[in-house]
Structure 1
Amino acid sequence: MAELTAEETVQAADKVLHDVGTVWMLHPETQARGAAHGYPKHLAFYFAGRGGVLGDVDAGVVTASMGWWNPGLVRLMWDRGLAVAGAREGARRYAQACADWATDHLTGFAGTDRLTELAEKVVSGAEESGLPLFAGWRAEPRADGGPARLLQLVHVLREWRGSVHLVATTAAGLGPLEAILTNEGQQQARFFGWRDDLPDCGHLKDRQVLAEQTTDRLVADTYERALTPAERAEFADLVRKLGDEVL
């Protein structure tokens, strides 16, 4: 039976989980669902939905919990999103949009039940201290089963690594804009709402490398506790197949 170390599991699965989550969140059908609920911009639905698990908080709390986004953009879209239905209802609608997208696009995926079972183990085994966005999404109700529950768990896993990485970048001494520029570059910084002249952060690249290493280590610790070596190999293989289905 094939086996994987926890570190190998990180390398095999985490980017795919991130990218699958990105697809459903940015998909035109998700944007259309937000518009149908009355959200004036797709980012208003994104922030009110994704950040809604934090409750009725100031936009600064959302910025701090998500990381990397330009604070002015977060405040604008958070306030617009909350004006539609409030934070908790926004989160509920966003979770339903995730479930609906999965039903539309993942019905028939052969690995649904087993990947759901393994993902549940990882989600349950992760430490939530210092990770409010992950903690909020882990506490949300999920669909009873099928592709809807699976994609909701993928979303929770994405929030887990993202939250861990935010802690790691902060610990490495990187500010939000510096974390983007030393990793994905100027184009991604523009996507995250940064509009002024962008600084050269090449001299901070070693901090970004350290942050990635720290993130991988912390995530691997959970894979080590939550899954056996054989389960890790199965998990990574099913995540790969899910990626093949979506990406």
Structure 2
Amino acid sequence: MGELSAAETVRAADKIIHDVGSRWMLSGATARHGQEHGFENPFAYYFAGRGGVLGDVDASVVAAALGWFEPAFVRAQWDEGVAVAGAREATRRYALGCAAWGEARLPDDPRLSELAGRVAKVAEGSALPVFCGWRAEPLPEAGPARLMQLVQVLRELRGGLHLVATTAVGLSPLEAILTQDGPDTARFFGWQGDFPECGALKPRRVEAEEITDRLSAAVYERALSPSERAEFAERVGALGSSVLG
């Protein structure tokens, strides 16, 4: 199977993990699962479910921990979502949706679950509250449901590291979006009005990506041997081919 450096593992695996997690979160099946569990608004389900690991906190805390989203938009969705059943119960229901989506769409790969679990366990959680919250959630016992929740945990790891990196280079959440994805994505994240010109800030975004990759690589370096990293990347690639096409 060969060997991979930690940096090569980042390039081979992290985007796939992100995209599989996004596919679940944005799925119509996930929205329907939310409706079946009391959440008529899929955005309220998302914010209360994803952020509920933080507990009964003010919406400003959720906005800070998730990053990217316009704070008033977060407040509206969070307050609506936690009104359904509370923050921790929202996460429990969201995790059930994660498990159901995984059971329907992911292959059964116990070895990938094992390797992903080791990566999650080794990661330093400082300044990564959403990742730590999801890491602390009980995992399904086995099968695709367990693997899908671990994908979610690792997605929160990368996302948290990236938020740390964009903050470190001096980018606000809106600037971080505009320097990479543009106004349409900013509007999807709840931002409104006229947007600033951020072309001059693009080098900072490049720097933030490099920092994120280094932080992520350090986790793989501690968690897995070179041959295990190659196996992990290969299995993540197969997962991506199965789920993303």
TM-score over 0.5 for the alignment?
Answer: yes
CA distance in 2, matches of 1:160, 1:61: 18
Query: SS at 1:2's partner residue?
Result: coil
1:38 Cα offset (Å): 1.7
Q: Tell me which residue corresponds to 1:13.
A: 13
Q: 1:1-247 residue pairs with structure 2 within 5 A?
A: 1-106=1-106, 109=107, 112-247=109-244
CA distance in 1, matches of 2:187, 2:196: 13
Deviations, residues 9-68 of structure 1 (Å, cap 9, x unaligned): 000000000000000111001000111112131000000000000000000000000001
Give the gaps of 5 or more residues in structure 2: none
Deviations, residues 110-164 of structure 1 (Å, cap 9, x unaligned): 5x11100110110011000110000100000110010000000000000000001
**TM-score (norm: length of structure 1):** 0.97
Paired residues of 1:21 and 1:155 also in contact (CA < 8 A): yes
1:202 Cα offset (Å): 0.4
Give the AA of the match of 1:27.
Answer: S
CA distance in 2, matches of 1:124, 1:239: 18
Task: Give percent identity, aligned residues only.
Answer: 61
Paired residues of 1:39 and 1:45 also in contact (CA < 8 A): yes
CA distance in 2, matches of 1:102, 1:68: 26
Q: Which runs of 4+ in 1 moved over 4 A?
A: none
CA distance in 1, matches of 2:51, 2:9: 28
CA distance in 1, matches of 2:19, 2:185: 15
CA distance in 1, matches of 2:29, 2:45: 12
CA distance in 1, matches of 2:102, 2:133: 21
Aligned residues: 244
CA distance in 2, matches of 1:103, 1:196: 41
Deviations, residues 185-208 of structure 1 (Å, cap 9, x unaligned): 111111101111111100000110
CA distance in 1, matches of 2:175, 2:187: 13
Give the AA of the match of 1:233.
Answer: A
**TM-score (norm: length of structure 2):** 0.98
1:243 Cα offset (Å): 0.4
CA distance in 2, matches of 1:78, 1:40: 13
